[in-house]
Amino acid sequence: MLQQIEFKLSVEKQYKEGIDKMINLYQIEGDRRSKAEAEAKKVESTQKIQLLTKSRKRYNDMNIDFDEDEDNDDENTKLNSNIRRPLTGNLQISILAVKDVDHIVGARPIRGPESYLSVKVEDQIRARTRYVRNDRWNEEFNISVDKANEIEIAIYDKVNDQNIPVGLMWLRISDIAEAIRRRRVEQELSQTGWVSASKVQDNATYPGGSAAGSGFHPAHSAGPHADPTQQSPAPATPRIPSGVHNPSNITIDSWFVLEPAGQIHLALNFEKASRGTKRPYDGIGGLGRQGAIRQKKEEVHEMHGHQFVQHQFYNVMKCAYCGDFLKYAGGYQCMDCKYTCHKKCYPNVVTKCISRASNEVDPDEEKLNHRIPHRFEPYTNMGANWCCHCGYLLPLGKKNVRKCTECGSTCHASCVHLVPDFCGMSNEVANKILREIKKTKHRKAASVGSIETGRPRVNSASPRFDYGYGSGNQSPLSPARPPKSPQHLVYQNQNFQQQQQQQQQRQQSPYLDQQNVPQLQKIQQLQGQPDQYEHYQQQDYQQQQQQQQQQQQQQQQQQQQQEQKQKQKQKTYDLNKETPLPPIPIEGQESHQSIPSEPLSTTTAEPAGLSPQFDFKESQNVNPLPAASAVMSSLRPQRMSVEIPSLRPQTPPTAEPALQDQIQFNQLSQDDQSNRKSLQLSPDRRQVSPSQHQHHHLQQRKKKKVGLDDFNFLAVLGKGNFGKVMLAESRQTQSLYAIKVLKKDFIIENEEVESTRSEKRVFLIANKEHHPFLLNLHSCFQTENRIYFVMDYVSGGDLMWHIQQIPFTPRRAQFYAAEVLLGLKYFHDNGVIYRDLKLDNILLTLSGHIKIADYGLCKEDMWYGKTTGTFCGTPEFMAPEILLEQKYGRGVDWWAFGVLIYQMLLGQSPFRGEDDDEVFDAILLDEPLYPIHMPRDSVSILQGLLIREPEKRLGSSERDALDIMEHDYFKNINFDDIYHCRVPPPYVPKIDSPTDVANFDQEFTSEVPALTPVTKTLTPAMQEKFRGFSYLNGDIL
């Protein structure tokens, strides 16, 4: 509350400053009416500032014990910022009464002042009560809100025709909706006797009993509203008490605190507007199909290594660059270090991200020699302070807060190492300095370019002063110059005096080169003698020319020596005696033929950055092979290149016999000749090894193509957010396959090209060892508008369909959980996380074993310790770290595994809600409940898997699935027998014919198995993204 009051106070002060500016403008314009309205608003704003200041003082004087919840304050702040979001719906508010309010005392203290209340939604007045003197109203208002965050209620006293605020309060609409959701869940569970895991452990009637062998039957306790008289294995029909599931019948009736003093009696209700398809509500925990979601990739803005993405904040934040507030608005946040700033501020950020390598540092940043580190020390935070890096509110207390003793900057203890060493300097000043450095460097580069084009001999990068020039526009003095006129001598004398002043200034510079000191002393001796100075100028210029000529000669000698050394290492050979070619240098040979430079200069490209006189001999020192190969191809276009072991040209599989007979090597050693005998053999003498023959046979087998004409579509098996799955029959073999069909335009529009390729690679991982519990891939192919995954057909249906028909027994749930566990273990052992585990994606074979399907959300290269951050999954199965947009690893699969076991054992989901937002709130805040007589081992494994902290979750260690396999819940399971399918399954599905689809949802199978027409035409660039997608499993041939 203290932070919120601090924020309100700062906003109100800015509002008052704006009113003062408006009053001055109206006074200049002479608009008395507008000026009077502005002055009335100023009086109200001044009174609000007084109320907020008084309230802040009251909270600061409180004695607060920080040690109790200090560890979780920081996490709760960031968690609340994620669950508080703008809402749309209908707000019902009843204003009943107020008490203990400090009213303004008028001339008649016995008779209280007239008071009224106003209700604001996002600073807009939406409701207002009548005037009363007894502090009782009993008025009700219905307010429709659209993407609103908070409401403000203020009580005013009427004094001399002016309304003076005497009490304030604020409520977040998301808090109202969350309170109503929790109260609804409490009402639904009040009659069932379901309790938390800790109470189940204390009251378990089957200590040590496993789920498979106990007398616990989920059919009799599948939900709080299941029929207790039902003894058959038929599905339980939930009975919903009237008014329980209707949120409009739940009202929050309570007294709320006013600031700075008093209370107000309100009755609140909020009904959210339906957004799209509403989640079906079958009483508590009804299971139903739901598609997966994937957050669309956001545009990344890079700045000094920061990966900025636009982020919507639902809490009061502060920009780390300018220090202004981000009030329920969008800002930019770095995905790696969480640096937060305004959209307008991110281009000016001067700090580098921790993800940036040391060799990527901007040289301009290194020139900013302000490297004064902060002196951060533990600080007891008792007010409203924000982190100077991530922008979040700092928690109250001392443990997680640091403050610089020099400049006063505050930050989280975890953000200390991210704050730049700009103590005493603001980011704006640092940015100005860097801009000036860049401008100066740009001007230097421009001046260097202009000087080099006018006077080639000047090197502006050198700190030496150039005394060989008079003024800036003069040319160098030559020995044979014409006699000068008196006017010219006067003009030159003026230039000489100007140069003297410049040289005196340069002499004071600490960067003066030592070798220029004698020259400067000579110039000082020549003051007042222009003719002698001209003679010295000419003499100095001649000396500099001689030095440059000597340097050029030395460079030429060095180049010649290098050429001679290179020639000693080269040997040449003739490709044809009739048309001799320039020799190709071969390692370890000497060259005995000279290379003509003039003809070769027409066929070789001049390397960038070399002088025009650069010939082929010089190019050999850089890269001799491209030049020689270019000449060979130009002179012999009809002949094919020959492979030389010391070089690496591409060699075709065959060559012309005539060309091979003509090849002769000049002056080769015996070792070289023995190494190259294979090149002189004729094709008739060559033999093909068995391995080459087998490789050629495999290439012919891979040439077989699979297309749309090879299949007949028979039925629709399922549909999801990313495509459709249909049953198809091969026209050649009459085998049945399940084909997943995806539209290319949908993939491109949603940026799912790489995800589709990843799905194919995960299929290949599953095919590698033919895992018994993973779905295998037959082939992939594509048409103009679609891509197709041809998979094994599993005719037993999915577990969602089966659990809707009959609840699972504990033994059956345990059996399926063991097989799913082995499938996830195989994925994790191969660096893959699944991320979409649910009953819909687990298929049942005719032998009674499971197959994990749908690899669309899998992520590769996720070994132990690796993390990713994509927001994806099915809402009821998403782990808290995904919802909080944190980096996560393999632990998200084990959270989903816990939700899966919960659904199979109890027939409902542990986290429920009417829409996705309510489900997310339940995952972050609610505690799963269990029947009081549920076996202890079953509760224990669910309790271990459904831990919100991923580092404490069961299976989070490097042993991964082994920790779960060793849990007491699986103590009667032999996983080796499970893997080899030696354990008889508890249930075997039945079908009437191979094409019978009775085990699939009729919602899908009733559709016509046809491909809908596609009107959008893809460009060649779009089609290029799907190159190489086709695949055929060689094991099926």
Task: State the residue for tokens 């106990």.
Answer: 214
Point out the least confidently predicted range of 194-203, 401-410, 1006-1015.
194-203
Q: Is 740 marked as binding a ligand?
A: yes
Point out the least confidently predicted range of 307-316, 477-486, 709-718.
477-486
Candidates 911, 933, 905, 937; CA nearest to 924 is: 911
The alpha helices in 730-845, defined as continuous H runs, are 744-749, 753-769, 799-805, 810-829
Residue 11 above 60 pLDDT? yes
Alpha-carbon gap, residue 485 to 796, rounded angstroms: 110
Residue 119 above 60 pLDDT? yes
Alpha-carbon gap, residue 150 to 170, rounded angstroms: 7
Taking phi over 0 as left and psi of -120 to 50 as alpha, with beta for the rest, 992 belongs to alpha
Residue 972: which pLDDT band, with cuts at 50, 70 and 90? very high
The predicted structure's pLDDT at residue 548: 72
The predicted structure's pLDDT at residue 338: 85
Report CA 722 to chain centroid distance, whole Å. 21
Residue 63 above 70 pLDDT? no
Share of residues in the chain with pLDDT > 90 (%): 29
How would you class 96 by CB atoms within 10 Å of its CB: exposed for 0-12, middle for 13-18, buried for 19 or more?
middle
The predicted structure's pLDDT at residue 482: 47
Alpha-carbon gap, residue 55 to 49, rounded angstroms: 10
Q: Are 931 and 923 in contact (CB under 8 A)?
A: no
Of 73, 74, 836, 960, the active-site residue reads: 836
Alpha-carbon gap, residue 384 to 317, rounded angstroms: 11
Residues 536-542: what's their mean pLDDT?
55
Q: Are 238 and 226 in contact (CB under 8 A)?
A: yes
Candidates 702, 661, 668; CA nearest to 682 is: 661
Read off φ and ψ for residue 704, nearest 5 degrees. -65, 130
Alpha-carbon gap, residue 1001 to 119, rounded angstroms: 50
Residue 976: which pLDDT band, with cuts at 50, 70 and 90? very high
187/573: higher pLDDT = 187
Candidates 652, 772, 767; CA nearest to 1031 is: 767
Residues 671-691: what's their mean pLDDT?
41
Residue 637 above 60 pLDDT? no
Tell me the range of 323-337, 636-650, 898-912 where mean pLDDT is highest.
Answer: 898-912
Q: What is the pLDDT of residues 717-767, one digit of tens each?
A: 988 766 789 999 999 899 999 999 999 988 998 888 999 999 999 999 999
What is the spatial order of strands in the sheet that 162-172 belongs to? Answer: 124-128, 115-121, 150-159, 162-172
Tell me if residue 362 falls in helix, strand or coil.
coil
How would you class 106 by CB atoms within 10 Å of its CB: exposed for 0-12, middle for 13-18, buried for 19 or more?
middle
- Kind and range of the H or E run holding 908: none
Q: Are 1035 and 765 in contact (CB under 8 A)?
A: no
Residue 99 above 80 pLDDT? yes
Q: What is the DSSP letter of 930?
A: B
The predicted structure's pLDDT at residue 530: 46
Q: Are 218 and 810 in contact (CB under 8 A)?
A: yes
The alpha helices in 870-986, defined as continuous H runs, are 880-883, 891-906, 916-925, 936-945, 961-965, 975-979
**DSSP readout, 639-694?**
S-----TTS-----S---HHHHHH-B-SS--HHHHHHTHHHHS-GGG----HHHHH
Residue 468 above 60 pLDDT? no
Residues 462-489: what's their mean pLDDT?
42
Point out the least confidently predicted range of 351-360, 661-670, 728-737, 905-914.
661-670
The predicted structure's pLDDT at residue 676: 39
CB within 8 Å of 536: residues ≥ 6 apart? 522, 523, 526
End-to-end Cα distance, the chain:
70
CB within 8 Å of 143: residues ≥ 6 apart? 90, 91, 92, 93, 119, 121, 126, 127
The alpha helices in 770-843, defined as continuous H runs, are 799-805, 810-829
506/420: higher pLDDT = 420
Read off φ and ψ for residue 730, nearest 5 degrees. -70, 130
Alpha-carbon gap, residue 546 to 682, rounded angstroms: 63
Residue 625 above 70 pLDDT? no
Instruction: Please name the amino acid found at residue 783.
Output: T
Residue 932 above 50 pLDDT? yes
Residue 155: which pLDDT band, with cuts at 50, 70 and 90? very high
CB within 8 Å of 577: residues ≥ 6 apart? 662, 664
Alpha-carbon gap, residue 175 to 170, rounded angstroms: 11
Output the six-digit token pair for 293.
């979601």
Residue 138: which pLDDT band, with cuts at 50, 70 and 90? very high
Residues 451-464: what's their mean pLDDT?
46
The predicted structure's pLDDT at residue 679: 35
The predicted structure's pLDDT at residue 778: 92
Read off φ and ψ for residue 767, nearest 5 degrees. -70, -20
Q: What is the pLDDT of residues 246-289, one digit of tens each?
A: 545 788 999 999 998 999 999 999 988 865 445 544 433 467 78
Q: What is the pLDDT of residues 476-527, one digit of tens each?
A: 434 444 444 444 444 455 555 555 555 555 544 444 444 454 554 554 554 4
Task: State the residue for tokens 């598609």.
Answer: 291
449/412: higher pLDDT = 412
Q: Are 316 and 334 in contact (CB under 8 A)?
A: no
Candidates 191, 159, 178; CA nearest to 80 is: 178
Output the six-digit token pair for 664.
């002769």
Q: What is the pLDDT of residues 276-286, one digit of tens each?
A: 445 544 433 46
Tell me the Cα Rg of the chain.
Answer: 41
Q: What is the DSSP letter of 278?
A: P
Instruction: Please name the amino acid found at residue 583.
Output: P
Q: What is the DSSP letter of 923?
A: H
Question: Looking at the DSSP assignment, which residues form a beta bridge with residue 87?
Answer: 148
The predicted structure's pLDDT at residue 238: 37
Give the number of other Cβ atoms within 10 Å of residue 353's Cβ. Answer: 20
Residue 571 above 70 pLDDT? no
Point out the least confidently predicted range of 73-77, 181-185, 465-469, 879-883.
465-469
Question: Looking at the DSSP assignment, which residues form a beta bridge with residue 115?
Answer: 132, 157
Q: What is the pLDDT of residues 355-411, one digit of tens each?
A: 665 555 555 455 566 678 889 998 888 777 889 888 888 887 777 899 999 888 999
Alpha-carbon gap, residue 298 to 280, rounded angstroms: 31
> pTM higher than 0.85 for the full model?
no
Q: How much is the mean pLDDT over the chain? A: 74
Candidates 1009, 548, 612, 996; CA nearest to 797 is: 996
Alpha-carbon gap, residue 232 to 773, rounded angstroms: 31
Alpha-carbon gap, residue 925 to 931, rounded angstroms: 20
Helix axes 486-507, 530-568, angle to 10 degrees: 70
Candidates 928, 1011, 1014, 995; CA nearest to 195 is: 928
Report CA 952 to chain centroid distance, whole Å. 24
- Greatest alpha-carbon span in the chain: 127
Tell me the range of 422-431, 580-589, 623-632, 962-971 where mean pLDDT is highest.
Answer: 962-971
Alpha-carbon gap, residue 99 to 109, rounded angstroms: 17
User: ∠ CA 877-233-815 to the nearest 5 degrees?
Assistant: 50
> Cis omega (within 30 of 0) on the bond before 238?
no
Residue 916 above 90 pLDDT? no
Residue 609 above 50 pLDDT? no
The question of whether 20 is a catalytic residue gets the answer no
- Sign, Cα dihedral of 559, 565, 568, 574: negative
